[in-house]
Amino acid sequence: MTLTEKILAHAAGLDSVKPGDFVTCKLSLVLANDITAPIAIRELRQMGATRVFDPERVVLVADHNTPNKDIQSAQNTKLLRDFAHEQGLRHFYEAQGGGIEHLIVPDTGLALPGEVIIGADSHTCTYGALGAFATGVGSTDAAAGMALGESWFRVPESMKLVFTGTLRPWVSGKDLILYTIGKIGVDGARYRAMEFAGPVIESLDMAGRFTICNMAIEAGGKTGIIAPDQTTLDWVRPRATRDFQVFTSDPDADYVEVYEWDAADIEPQVAFPHLPENTRGLSEVGEVTIHQAVIGACTNGRLEDLRVAAQILKGRKVAPGVRCLVFPGSVEIQLQALREGIIETLLEAGCLVSTPTCGPCLGGHSGCLAAGERAIATTNRNFVGRMGHPTSEVYLASPAITAASAVLGRIGGPEEL
């Protein structure tokens, strides 16, 4: 069996499963946010449930429209706050210790290898970087998971994406996943488990792995997953809140498709509007002026990402007419960035550093685009109107390319600086 099949079989109490099987699995964690949780809470009440299955394993994070941008978002967050108090949930995050759900959950040891995790947010697949089966679900499925502690799945086919060779300068996990989506398309992994492997993946730190798995959904994947290794275990063990079990794929496991790419052939990538599959190597971008640069989000809001941005921006200035917005992924990350002098560097360069929030990624607040404006962003989606006006444009790239572009006033790389 593949890694994904082993995890699902274990959670279902079965010796084995195969693609296409329907299984009911015990859940290790159920997650929702300030947009999806209000619906889930309503559905939970309508189905007659009075208590969640385990107040230790239901997590609510207010991150999409927080700090509250309007009355409706304030009402939604209050609903989460009240529900968390009523149910005795230990893990409700809004202000103190808050930030973006897909950084808080793994960083606080709430997602662990070998687990089955569902979240009412499509980027729940981020936790596959730990070797977990993590997937996004609708709010109704999340409500059922909160009440029952289990959920049903159709076992997905697994595909393997192998990266060999050596990374070129400034090429990161973000570039690898953009390259992958550019090659297979936004439906190239539809309802499949995307298993990333090979020496290049093994050489990545956890930040790079989280970025890769975060965007598996942008290729249609049911989940993205990376087998745990020593890097994973060294990162997880100091954070783990409970015991966990590590699974790996069998050498003779079946994959519906296997891709193998030499990292030496991959240059920094930029996804053009209006799909993540519209990728080009940096050398093929041409002259694209920008009005806004966004560094952060659940895709690239980690401390490692902020360090890269600060390295490039140190001693330089954001180009006139460009707004460079930085969103640390959590309060803890923001605090550490402050201690390291990163925040000072970013502010001196002319960036605006925000409270940790999803903010402009979904066109929520703190950086919406006007008609005809262009943004380059470390976020994960660039659909029509994603960050503001329907005639605006979003280009996706790594923190290195985004920071360099903020200085240049057009899309470009650090080597130009």
Distance set, CA 404 to CA 26, 180, 205, 337 (Å)? 45, 23, 22, 19
Q: What is the mean pLDDT of residues 354-379?
A: 89
Task: Show which of 260, 295, 329 is a domain's final residue.
Answer: 260
**Domain CATH number, residue 116:** 3.30.499.10
Using CB atoms within 10 A of its CB, is residue 370 exposed (0-12), middle (13-18) or buried (19+)? exposed
pLDDT tens digits for range 155-164: 999 999 999 9
What confidence score (pLDDT) does residue 398 get? Answer: 97
pLDDT(94) > 80? yes
Task: Show which of 217, 239, 260 is a domain's final residue.
Answer: 260
User: Alpha carbon 416 to chain centroid distance?
Assistant: 29
pLDDT(413) > 80? yes
Q: What proportion of the chain, given as a percentage, has pLDDT over 70?
A: 100
In the structure, what pLDDT confidence band is assigned to residue 391 with cuts at 50, 70 and 90?
A: very high
Q: Are residues 160 and 62 in the same domain?
A: yes
197 inside domain? yes
Mean pLDDT of the chain: 95
What confidence score (pLDDT) does residue 365 get? Answer: 82
Task: Show which of 260, 291, 321 is a domain's final residue.
Answer: 260
283 inside domain? yes
What confidence score (pLDDT) does residue 66 get? Answer: 86
Q: What is the mean pLDDT of residues 229-245?
A: 95
Q: Are residues 222 and 322 in the same domain?
A: no
Q: Are residues 33 and 169 in the same domain?
A: yes
Q: Are residues 383 and 306 in the same domain?
A: yes
The runs of H, that is alpha helices, within 66-220 are: 71-87, 101-107, 139-148, 173-184, 199-203, 206-214
75 inside domain? yes
Q: Are residues 158 and 236 in the same domain?
A: yes
In the structure, what pLDDT confidence band is assigned to residue 97 with cuts at 50, 70 and 90?
A: confident
Task: Check: CB of residue 131 under 8 Å from CB of residue 113.
Answer: yes
What confidence score (pLDDT) does residue 143 get? Answer: 97
23 inside domain? yes
How far is residue 416's CA from residue 285's CA, in Å, rounded to a whole number?
Answer: 14
Count of domains for the chain:
2
Q: Are residues 140 and 252 in the same domain?
A: yes
pLDDT(361) > 80? no
Distance set, CA 337 to CA 306, 326, 327 (Å)? 7, 12, 11
How far is residue 91's CA from residue 132's CA, in Å, rounded to a whole number?
Answer: 20
Q: What is the mean pLDDT of residues 302-321?
A: 97
Q: Are residues 248 and 368 in the same domain?
A: no
What confidence score (pLDDT) does residue 111 get? Answer: 96
Q: Are residues 221 and 279 in the same domain?
A: no
How far is residue 51's CA from residue 44's CA, in Å, rounded to a whole number?
Answer: 9
Beta-carbon count within 10 A of 138 CB: 15
pLDDT(205) > 80? yes
pLDDT tens digits for range 172-192: 999 999 999 999 999 999 999
pLDDT tens digits for range 115-170: 999 999 999 999 999 999 999 999 999 999 999 999 999 999 999 999 999 999 99
pLDDT(69) > 90? no
275 inside domain? yes
Q: Are residues 113 and 211 in the same domain?
A: yes
How far is residue 395's CA from residue 209's CA, in Å, rounded to a whole number?
Answer: 21
pLDDT(282) > 90? yes
Q: Are residues 278 and 251 in the same domain?
A: no
What confidence score (pLDDT) does residue 331 get? Answer: 93
Q: Are residues 142 and 284 in the same domain?
A: no
Q: Are residues 274 and 256 in the same domain?
A: no
Q: What proportion of the chain, given as a percentage, has pLDDT over 90?
A: 91
Residue 287 identity: E
Range of the structural domain that residue 83 is part of: 3-260
265 inside domain? no
